[in-house]
């Protein structure tokens, strides 16, 4: 699996989450960092960012020479419009007809674009999504991509999104939070208890588990169910650790449990 995402050294999101989780499913990972950050940007200040756009081109060139094609490509955080376009180019070069392409269209949250992102990012991301078999926007990203207002219903959002398989994450309903999806033309939803705190990187844990399940041959609906369960387990384990663990999910506790330790 090729992973095009940022490498946030401290804070547990993106590549530092997806490499170990996907490996734990017995799948080989090949990361291509879009940026290297001292920490992720959710709640930390003074972070340092090394943009990797030029290196992405340089690193991918020898892979092209080997003629490698990936069984899956997952894309996440892209810093710039140029990088979103480069990511699209990567998918075209390194996939064949069987490659599973998952685009996590990182654009924003809580009804706003992330700092530094513009409408041009949304347009480029919409184009990137058109190459995907499955996209996993949160509710804010779904509305941006669909060109709908933030108060649009899930039904309206799913109708407006033309990618065949869509999982909208982070949907709040009463005391619960969950996923609303259209998979193989069928509507499906899963809700879990919501903790009263923001947990950064939850989407990355979910998408990584989803990829692991799909690559082990599960169909999309079952993969969604099992990835949601995996992610909820990580959330519960994080809650047990208390407030010192505010910056990310304690997914290591879950992986350790899988070893019977
Ligand atoms: O997973 C979310 C994420 C990814 N990448 C970076 C982030 C965040 C969330 O804050 O800051 C750099």
Residue of the CA atom closest to atom 8 of ligand 1? 40
Place of tokens 């979910």: 206
pLDDT in the model for residue 120:
98
pLDDT in the model for residue 80:
96
Radius of gyration of the chain from Cα atoms? 17
250 has pLDDT over 90: yes
- 143: its two tokens: 């509305």
95 has pLDDT over 90: yes
User: Which of 16, 34, 77, 138 to probe ligand 1 with, by most ligand atoms within 8 A of CB?
Assistant: 77
Using one digit for the tens of pLDDT, what is the confidence trace for 135-193? 999 999 999 999 999 999 999 999 999 999 999 999 999 999 999 999 999 999 999 99
pLDDT in the model for residue 198:
81
Among 70, 72, 86, residue whose Cα is nearest residue 34 = 86
DSSP 3-state of 53: helix
Top pLDDT among 247 and 30 is at 30
Residue of the CA atom closest to atom 10 of ligand 1? 42
Contact (Cβ atoms closer than 8 angstroms) between residue 221 and residue 186? yes
Whole-number Å distance, alpha carbon 108 to ligand 1 midpoint, is 10
pLDDT in the model for residue 195:
87
Which of 105-119, 144-158, 217-231 bottoms out in mean pLDDT, i.e. has the lowest? 105-119
Residue of the CA atom closest to atom 9 of ligand 1? 42
pLDDT in the model for residue 116:
86
> What is the average pLDDT score of the chain?
96
Contact (Cβ atoms closer than 8 angstroms) between residue 181 and residue 170? no
| Pocket lining: 224 vs ligand 1, CB cutoff 6 Å | no
Whole-number Å distance, alpha carbon 50 to ligand 1 midpoint, is 14
Among 47, 59, 46, residue whose Cα is nearest residue 13 = 47
Per-residue confidence band for 43, with pLDDT thresholds at 50, 70 and 90? confident
Which of 87-91, 185-189, 240-244 bottoms out in mean pLDDT, i.e. has the lowest? 240-244
122 has pLDDT over 90: yes
Q: What's the average model confidence in pLDDT over 8-29?
A: 97
pLDDT in the model for residue 238:
93
**195 to 102, 110, 218, 237: CA distances (angstroms):** 27, 16, 29, 12
Using one digit for the tens of pLDDT, what is the confidence trace for 56-86? 999 999 999 999 999 999 999 999 999 999 9
pLDDT in the model for residue 65:
96
| Pocket lining: 108 vs ligand 1, CB cutoff 6 Å | no
Whole-number Å distance, alpha carbon 203 to ligand 1 midpoint, is 10
Give the rounded percent of residues in the chain with a pLDDT score beyond 70: 100
Distance between CA 248 and CA 51 in Å, rounded?
Answer: 22
| Pocket lining: 42 vs ligand 1, CB cutoff 6 Å | yes
Atom of ligand 1 nearest to the CA of 49: 12
> pTM of this prediction?
0.96
| Pocket lining: 200 vs ligand 1, CB cutoff 6 Å | yes
| Pocket lining: 170 vs ligand 1, CB cutoff 6 Å | no
Whole-number Å distance, alpha carbon 13 to ligand 1 midpoint, is 6
Residue of the CA atom closest to atom 1 of ligand 1? 201
């Amino acid at each position: 699996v090729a992973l095009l995402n940022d490498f946030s050294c401290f804070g547990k999101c993106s590549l530092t989450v997806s490499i170990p989780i996907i490996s734990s499913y017995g799948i080989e990972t090949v990361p291509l960092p879009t940026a290297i950050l001292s920490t992720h940007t959710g709640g930390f200040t003074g972070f340092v960012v090394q943009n990797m756009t030029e290196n992405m081109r340089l690193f991918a060139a020898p892979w092209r020479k080997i003629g490698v094609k990936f069984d899956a490509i997952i894309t996440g955080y892209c810093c710039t419009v140029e990088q979103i376009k480069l990511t699209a180019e990567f998918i075209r070069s390194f996939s064949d007809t069987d490659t599973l392409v998952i685009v996590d269209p990182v654009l924003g949250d809580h009804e706003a674009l992330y700092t530094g992102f513009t409408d041009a990012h949304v347009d480029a991301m919409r184009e990137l999504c058109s190459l995907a078999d499955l996209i996993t926007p949160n509710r804010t990203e779904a509305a941006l991509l669909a060109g709908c207002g933030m108060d649009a219903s899930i039904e309206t959002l799913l109708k407006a999104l033309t990618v065949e398989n869509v999982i909208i994450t982070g949907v709040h309903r009463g005391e619960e939070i969950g996923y609303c999806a259209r998979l193989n033309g069928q509507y499906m939803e899963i809700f879990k208890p919501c903790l009263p705190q923001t947990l950064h990187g939850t989407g990355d844990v979910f998408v990584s588990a989803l990829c692991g399940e799909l690559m082990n041959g599960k169909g999309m609906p079952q993969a969604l169910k099992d990835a949601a369960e995996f992610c909820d387990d990580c959330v519960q384990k994080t809650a047990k650790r208390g407030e010192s663990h505010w910056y990310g999910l304690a997914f290591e506790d879950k992986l350790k449990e899988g070893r019977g330790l």
